[in-house]
């Protein structure tokens, strides 16, 4: 294939599909290359779809996208070994005409999105791996090399949407190797249950769904979280921790997941389910400080490849779609103005990222990854202390409430000391700003 494209998009995850769709829809000549057998075949997600990001690309996506349930209730749980304490927010306002969040099955939604990309006019080829970037004598990216025979293909710009590892960006020297403390390893299972059992267990009906985000001793003091999401006829159950912590502790993700599933507060939710799928995947969690330069002469980086994940809020796919769309819009504006895809011109992509929620949110939490890495008491001491305090408070045993208050405070002070407690509060507030 020797023809030249306006843009080549590598990868058919949310960032690649957003970029390819947006450019193809605007009439650009786009080639998208995916190594998987079909889009979605290699991808793993919880998965929550944030409607706003997709709506900005395909406004009427609700008409035919494969959606599982819309979320009406968010639970945040803190687990110690025997109990959980937490908050639930449930609102009938989320039963709106255009719901804000949905559970989805990634393989299905990627396939659907890819169909839209093709309908918009892009050429999509699967089962093809991009092995390298082609550069001219001045170092400008001018195309890609694939693992197909005569597999060099040329374009004005190459948009790298190849996911967390992005070996292409690494090989080309655009990005450093991932640091173990900047990436989490997550494992996930699909537990199948009849729809009416899920409805009853989670107190929902029809298309309503529930999200449970969980932290605490279940990650054995490692930085990480777990989740349970309700699909139509299955539950997505997963847990993930920083790779550096797995290395340090020798824990295995599988053992962690087993422990989580057998927790006395979790096991009843999964009882009787049939596990049909098991998957593992990396999540970039280095945050703002880990974002590499995301553009240069003839290239751009979107989604996980650029570390665009807000781990605290569990937002990744929306950042992937938004960065893909903004990269595409940058290319479209340059094409329209007849300008070349140079480093100086593509800098407009970074500027539009700065103006969007993507960089604003990641910047807000810029110190959080390092803070959590260095303060694992939030995943060990505090869940135990909070649970003990709650147990003391709620147990009616003839001890007066003032004495109980004293016991609760002494529990915290004994474990962390006054200075430790104050220091933790100040550090947490600073990281949160």
In the complex, the residues that contact ligand FAD under the rule CB under 6 A are 10-16, 33-36, 42-48, 50, 129-130, 161-163, 168, 186, 188, 238, 281, 283, 303-305, 309, 314-318, 320
**Rounded Cα gap, residues 153 and 144, in angstroms:** 5
**Rounded Cα gap, residues 430 and 424, in angstroms:** 10
In whole angstroms, the minimum distance from the beta carbon of 317 to ligand FAD comes to 3
In whole angstroms, the minimum distance from the beta carbon of 42 to ligand FAD comes to 4
In whole angstroms, the minimum distance from the beta carbon of 30 to ligand FAD comes to 15
CB nearer ligand FAD, residue 49 or residue 385 = 49
CB nearer ligand FAD, residue 191 or residue 314 = 314
3-state secondary structure of 382: helix
In whole angstroms, the minimum distance from the beta carbon of 266 to ligand FAD comes to 17
In whole angstroms, the minimum distance from the beta carbon of 355 to ligand FAD comes to 20
CB nearer ligand FAD, residue 290 or residue 389 = 290
Consecutive H or E run containing 160: strand 152-160
CB nearer ligand FAD, residue 143 or residue 303 = 303
In whole angstroms, the minimum distance from the beta carbon of 43 to ligand FAD comes to 5
Backbone angles phi, psi at 224, to 5 degrees: 180, 175
In whole angstroms, the minimum distance from the beta carbon of 175 to ligand FAD comes to 13
Residue with tokens 């979790």: 266
- 87 Cβ neighbours under 8 A, 6+ residues apart: 75, 76
In whole angstroms, the minimum distance from the beta carbon of 41 to ligand FAD comes to 7
Instruction: Report the length, in residues, of the chain.
Output: 433
CB nearer ligand FAD, residue 109 or residue 193 = 109
Sign of CA dihedral 49, 40, 227, 319: negative
CB nearer ligand FAD, residue 126 or residue 390 = 126
Which two three-digit tokens encode residue 216? Answer: 């605490």
- 415 Cβ neighbours under 8 A, 6+ residues apart: 381, 384, 385
**Rounded Cα gap, residues 287 and 247, in angstroms:** 20
Backbone angles phi, psi at 285, to 5 degrees: -130, 20
Buried b (16+ CB within 10 A) or exposed e, 22-58: bbbbbebbbbbbbbbeebbbbbbbbbbbbbebbeebb
CB nearer ligand FAD, residue 10 or residue 368 = 10
CB nearer ligand FAD, residue 231 or residue 317 = 317
């Amino acid at each position: 294939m020797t023809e030249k494209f306006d843009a080549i998009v590598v990868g058919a995850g949310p960032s690649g599909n957003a970029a390819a769709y947006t450019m193809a829809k605007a009439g650009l000549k786009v080639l998208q290359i995916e190594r998987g057998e079909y889009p979605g075949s290699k991808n793993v997600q919880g998965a929550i779809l944030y409607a706003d990001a997709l709506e900005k690309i395909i406004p009427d996506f609700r008409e035919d996208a494969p959606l599982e349930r819309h979320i009406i209730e968010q639970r945040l749980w803190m687990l110690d070994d025997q109990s959980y304490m937490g908050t639930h927010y449930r609102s009938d306002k989320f039963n709106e005409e255009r719901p804000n969040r949905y559970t989805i099955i990634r393989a299905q939604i990627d396939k659907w999105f890819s169909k839209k990309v093709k309908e918009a006019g892009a050429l999509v080829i699967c089962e093809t791996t991009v092995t390298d970037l082609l550069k001219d004598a001045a170092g400008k990216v001018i195309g890609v090399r694939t693992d197909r025979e005569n597999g060099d293909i040329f374009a004005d710009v190459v948009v790298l949407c190849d996911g967390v590892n992005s070996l292409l960006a690494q090989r080309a020297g655009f990005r450093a190797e991932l640091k173990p403390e900047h990436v989490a390893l997550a494992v996930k299972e699909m537990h199948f249950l009849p729809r009416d059992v899920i409805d009853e267990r989670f107190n929902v009906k029809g298309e309503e769904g529930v999200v449970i985000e969980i932290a605490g001793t279940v990650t054995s003091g490692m930085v990480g979280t777990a989740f349970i999401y309700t699909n139509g006829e299955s539950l997505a159950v997963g847990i993930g921790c920083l790779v550096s912590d797995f290395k340090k502790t020798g824990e295995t993700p599988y053992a962690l997941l087993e422990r989580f599933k057998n927790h006395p507060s979790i096991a009843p939710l999964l009882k009787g389910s049939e596990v049909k799928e098991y998957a593992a995947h990396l999540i970039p969690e280095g945050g703002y400080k880990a974002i590499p330069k995301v553009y240069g002469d003839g290239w751009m980086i979107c989604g996980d490849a650029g570390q665009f994940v807000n781990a605290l809020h569990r937002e990744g796919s929306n950042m992937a779609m938004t960065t893909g769309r903004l990269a595409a819009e940058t290319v479209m504006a340059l094409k329209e103005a007849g300008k070349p895809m140079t480093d100086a011109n593509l800098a407009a992509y970074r500027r539009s990222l700065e103006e969007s929620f993507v960089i604003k949110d990641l910047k807000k939490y810029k110190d959080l990854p390092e803070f959590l890495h260095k303060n694992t008491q939030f995943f060990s001491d505090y869940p135990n202390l909070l649970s003990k305090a709650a147990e003391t408070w709620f147990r009616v045993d003839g001890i007066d409430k003032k004495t109980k208050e004293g016991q609760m405070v002494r529990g915290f002070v004994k474990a962390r000391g006054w200075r430790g407690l104050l220091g933790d509060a100040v550090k947490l507030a600073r990281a949160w700003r």
